[in-house]
Each structure stands twice: as structure tokens, then as C-alpha cells.
Amino acid sequence: MNLSTQGQQITKDFIELIQNETEEMSISIILGKLFYDLCEYDKSQKYFQRLLNDSNDEDRAWIEFSIGKTHHMKDEWDQAREYYDRAYEHMIKTKPARMKGAAQVLQNIGP
């Protein structure tokens, strides 16, 4: 197995792992999450901002949650809270409600 093939396999395995952990998220959300997981918060935020401009309603809550997380990690709590609140509202209003996702948002907001 050459280095390029190894890299492709690692990427494929990572995406599959993340999909199992984030079954409600689309591939485009998972890609932005990869930037976040690599501590590339500015890249992640820019990526999600672009997605937000072109989002469908199904992904909007996860996009807003992810933008909130990037603000949170950059110690921009007011901006993070604004996006967390939007994400929570979208998750609760979805039929059926995304309770697992809403719980993640509340966990990030904290006590």
C-alpha cells in the first residue's frame, strides 16, 4: 500500500467513523467538522458560513450549531450563544424533533 492509498483509506475510515457518531449529519457537515476536529476553527467557521448561505432547511440547525462551536472555542461566547440558540430552535421545531441534536446544543451551552 503506497502513501497516497493509505491517506485515502485513513480519510475513508475517518468519514465512516464520524458518520456513525453523527448519523443525523450530512457529508458536508462532517467535512466542516473535520476542520473543527483538527483545531482549524477559522477554516471551520468560514466553511460553515458558506454552507449557511447555501443551506437547505435540513442542514441549517447543524450548520448553526457548528458555527456556535467555532465561536465557543475562540472564546466568543456571545456569538456562540446566538448560534446555539438558533440551532436549538431549529432542532426542536423539526418534525419529528431532533432530541439528540438538541441535547448536544444544550450540553455545549452548559448549566
The Cα 56–Cα 59 span in angstroms is: 6
pLDDT digits (tens), the chain, 111 positions: 565 788 888 888 877 776 666 666 777 888 888 899 899 999 999 999 999 998 777 789 999 999 999 999 999 999 999 999 999 999 999 888 788 888 989 998 986
List the grid coordinates of 49: 458560513
Q: What is the pLDDT of residue 21?
A: 65
- Is 102 within 8 Å of 91 (Cβ atoms)? yes
Looking up cell 465557543, which residue turns up?
72
3-state SS, residue 96: coil
How many Cα atoms occupy the beta-carbon half-sphere of 23 within 13 Å?
3
- Domains of the chain plus CATH, in order, are 3-109 (1.25.40.10)
Q: What is the pTM of this model?
A: 0.75
